């Protein structure tokens, strides 16, 4: 059995408040057994050919294709997201990821021949791409299928065993049980450990070879602190406060639609959703009028709406009551500090069914424009010049995603370069995340390490450097005994090679002399 069962944390359907099931933290012994199984299966994974690992990963694709409706039903029941959000960002994208990595892994994970510098002439260098061992993946609640399966399959392809601790808010326990029962995926290669924060902390203490964490800044710091005690490597995919900059030369209709989606998809519960919107003054009124008008026409979830089957729901419910409190606090704080409610707002305090909300005249001293809100809100601000837009966009502790909307591609690239972030879109938003060929990650408080892309596979690898020399009767010129003659010859070599015009003959003569000494001179 790959999923542990338990009984204390209540997993709730956010749409109607019913308790779906309960989970508890596994015992110490159960966690130790999990690590033992991981370490034992890892030896077998490492011994497998990459082709065989790819065949295993292909089972994930086959499983998703066969059971996509069931997967969607379970995701929607635990997250409350609209069916299209769940389909696009969790199901379709997982298929894309498997497809891309089946092609990319053989290229990225094969050993490499590496060049050598002049100092090491005559030797060879290589890089062995090896697994790290056991990877602990700790995931948040907003994309509970994608965020578990994608890092796990990447770490597995690289030859690691994987232990995943999904969020206790959306653990998808029935889905993992079904997956391991039906997919025929290699036993114990990926183990999903359902439990609370304490379970996550105990798993870190058991010394995995690397932790891959996606979640909040606060928890990321705490886990990094725990990792530092045992020098465990960690990648941190943390929060964001994405700016979106709209210049006055855009196609208004297209950009309004794009911004609306970038802000409200997944009910705004995305680390790279649009949270701050900067609109150039020349089109400000027209653009905002249209944005507000269209936003009012979005069809959100509401109590009693069966969004599991109703495909016409644009914006699903919020997933976690604690997040609703944060979003409400940010809206109230903005209104108290002088922001203008342009649409939406808090219709019913505490309701999981939040309506898309746009706040005008925001300033950076408001929480809605400076802290991660993670809800269906947009904080709108006006700007005059490109420089001002860049300055405002960079005025944030976060550096995850951003977008620039303009017809002027030179300006698009210029601004994209000037924003301090890990991912940026020109004339779209957030789609970097949907491209498994692109590395994804942040700077500043948004974390570090890159996930996906070639770098994302290599993050789960030990890049072992191998220097290969011949076995002969020669010793190296820089080995003992150190003598004035050897040092002079080495200096001559350096001077002849690095002088403004390379002196090949002098280089060769000194090289031959060094070889001769290398055959003769030894400490007796
Ligand atoms: P969110 O899901 O809101 O981003 P967190 O960042 O707190 O929330 O949690 C993300 C994941 O980290 C969850 O799976 C959670 O159980 C886990 N977690 C929380 N605290 C710790 C901790 N101290 N050590 C390890 N894992 C933790």
Cα–Cα nearest to 256, from 83, 417, 97, 427: 427
Residue 216 CB–ligand 1 contact under 6 Å: yes
With beta carbons less than 8 A apart as the criterion, state whether 466 and 457 touch: no
Distance 197 CA to ligand 1 centre (A): 6
188 Cβ inside 6 Å of ligand 1:
no
CA of 165 to the centre of ligand 1 (A): 9
Q: How many CB atoms lie within 10 A of CB 524?
A: 3
DSSP string, 376-412: SEEEEEEESSHHHHHHHHH-SSEESEEEEE-S-HHHH
Question: By the 8 A CB rule, do 157 and 56 touch?
Answer: no
Q: Which helix (H) or strand (E) holds 150?
A: helix 146-157
- Polymer length in residues for the chain: 524
Determine which one of 237, 371, 386, 433 is catalytic: 237
Name the catalytic one among 56, 90, 271, 372: 271
372 lines ligand 1 (CB under 6 A): no
Residue 54: closest CA among 136, 127, 158: 158
Q: Which of 176, 197, 224, 321 to mutate to test the pocket of ligand 1 (most atoms within 8 A of CB)?
A: 197
At 177, phi and psi to the nearest 5? -60, -45
What pLDDT sits at residue 72? 97
CA distances from 471 to 213, 475, 476, 495, 518 (A): 45, 10, 11, 28, 13
Q: What is the pLDDT of residues 286-343, one digit of tens each?
A: 999 999 999 999 999 888 777 788 888 999 999 999 999 999 999 999 999 999 999 9
Contact call for residues 145 and 166 (beta carbons, < 8 A): no
What is the per-residue pLDDT for 3?
54
Cα distances (angstroms) measured from residue 206 to each of 131, 136, 203, 229, 251: 18, 10, 5, 12, 54
In this prediction, residue 5 carries a pLDDT of: 47
Q: What angle do CA 463, 106, 63 make, to 5 degrees?
A: 115
Could you say which residues of the chain have pLDDT below 70? 1-7
Instruction: Give the C-alpha separation, 225 to 203, whole Å.
Output: 14
For the Cβ of 197 lying below 6 angstroms from any atom of ligand 1, the answer is: yes
User: Ligand 1, residues 142, 164, 167: which to mutate, most atoms within 8 A of Cβ?
Assistant: 167
Residue 352 Cα to ligand 1 middle (Å): 21
**Ligand 1 contact via 200 beta carbon (within 6 Å):** yes
Q: Indicate whether residue 204 lines ligand 1 (CB < 6 A).
A: yes
Specify the residue with its C-alpha closest to ligand 1, atom 16: 197
DSSP 271: T
Ligand 1 atom 26 nearest Cα: 200
Is residue 513 within 8 A of residue 489, CB to CB? The reply is yes
Q: How far apart are CA 524 and CA 463, in angstroms?
A: 39
Q: Which residue from 288, 297, 279, 203 is spatially nearest to 243, judged by alpha carbons?
A: 279
Q: Which of 253, 258, 244, 263 is nearest to 287 (CA)?
A: 253
Question: Is any atom of ligand 1 closer than 6 Å to the C-beta of 199?
Answer: no
Strands of 112-114's sheet in order across = 112-114, 124-131, 461-468
Strand, helix or coil for residue 323: helix
147: Cα within 13 Å, side-chain hemisphere = 24
- Please write down the HEC assignment for all residues of 61-125: HHHHHHHHHHHHHHHHHHHCCCHHHHHHHHHHHHHHHHHHHHHHHHHHCCCEEECCCHHHCCCEE
The reply to whether ligand 1 has any atom less than 6 angstroms from the CB of 239 is no
271 catalytically annotated: yes
Nearest CA to ligand 1 atom 18: 197
Query: Whose alpha carbon is nearest atom 23 of ligand 1?
Result: 201
Classify the C-alpha dihedral 317-90-72-322 as positive or negative: negative
Q: Residue with the nearest Cα to atom 17 of ligand 1? A: 197
pTM over 0.85? The answer is: yes
Is 362 among the residues known to form the active site? no
Express each pLDDT in 104-150 by its tens digit.
999 999 999 999 999 999 999 999 999 999 999 999 999 999 999 99
Q: What are phi and psi of 217, to 5 degrees?
A: -60, -45
- DSSP symbol at 349: T
For residue 219, the tally of other CB atoms under 10 A from its CB is 18
């Amino acid at each position: 059995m790959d999923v542990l069962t338990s009984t204390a944390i209540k997993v709730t359907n956010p749409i109607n408040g019913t308790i779906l099931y309960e989970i508890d933290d596994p015992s110490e012994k159960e966690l130790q057994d999990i690590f033992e199984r991981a370490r034992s299966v890892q030896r077998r994974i490492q011994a497998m050919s990459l082709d065989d690992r790819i065949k295993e990963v292909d089972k994930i694709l086959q499983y998703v294709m066969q059971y996509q409706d069931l997967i969607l039903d379970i995701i929607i029941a635990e997250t409350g997201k609209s069916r299209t959000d769940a389909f696009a960002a969790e199901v379709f994208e997982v298929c894309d990821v498997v497809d891309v990595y089946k092609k990319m892994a053989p290229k990225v994970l094969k050993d490499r021949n590496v060049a050598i510098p002049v100092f090491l002439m005559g030797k060879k260098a290589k890089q062995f791409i090896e697994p790290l061992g056991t990877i602990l993946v700790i995931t948040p609640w907003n994309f509970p299928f994608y965020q578990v399966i994608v890092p796990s399959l990447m770490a597995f392809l690289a030859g690691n065993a994987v232990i995943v601790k999904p969020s206790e808010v959306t653990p998808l326990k029935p889905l993992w049980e079904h997956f391991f029962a039906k997919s025929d995926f290699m036993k114990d290669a990926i183990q999903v450990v359902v439990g609370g924060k304490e379970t996550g902390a105990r798993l870190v203490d058991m010394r995995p070879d690397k932790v891959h964490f996606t979640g909040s800044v606060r928890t990321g710091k705490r886990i990094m602190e725990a990792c530092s005690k045992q020098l465990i490597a960690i990648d941190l995919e943390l929060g964001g406060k994405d700016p979106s900059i709209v210049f006055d030369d855009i196609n208004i209709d297209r950009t309004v639609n794009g911004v609306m989606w970038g802000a409200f998809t997944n009910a705004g519960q995305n680390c790279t959703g649009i949270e701050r919107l900067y609109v150039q003054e020349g089109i400000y009124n027209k653009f905002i009028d249209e944005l507000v008008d269209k936003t009012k026409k979005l069809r959100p979830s509401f109590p009693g709406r069966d969004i599991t089957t109703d495909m016409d729901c644009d914006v699903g419910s919020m997933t976690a009551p604690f997040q609703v409190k944060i979003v409400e606090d940010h809206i109230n704080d903005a209104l108290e500090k002088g922001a203008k409610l342009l649409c939406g707002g808090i219709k019913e305090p505490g309701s999981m069914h939040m309506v898309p909300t746009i706040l005008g005249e925001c300033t950076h001293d408001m929480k809605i424009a400076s802290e991660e809100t993670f809800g269906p809100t947009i904080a709108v601000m006006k700007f005059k010049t490109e420089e001002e837009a860049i300055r405002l966009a960079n005025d944030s502790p976060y550096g995850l995603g951003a977008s620039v909307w303009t017809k002027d591609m030179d300006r698009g690239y210029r601004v994209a370069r000037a924003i301090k972030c890990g991912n940026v879109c020109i004339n779209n938003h957030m789609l970097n995340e949907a491209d498994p060929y692109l590395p994804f990650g942040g700077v500043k408080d948004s974390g570090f390490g890159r996930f996906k892309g070639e770098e994302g596979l290599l993050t789960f690898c030990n890049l072992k450097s191998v220097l290969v020399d011949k076995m002969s009767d020669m010793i190296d010129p820089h080995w003992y005994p150190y003598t004035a003659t050897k040092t002079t010859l080495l200096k001559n070599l350096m001077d002849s090679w690095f002088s403004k015009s390379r002196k090949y003959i002098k280089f060769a003569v000194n090289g031959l002399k060094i070889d001769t000494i290398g055959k003769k001179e030894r400490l007796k």
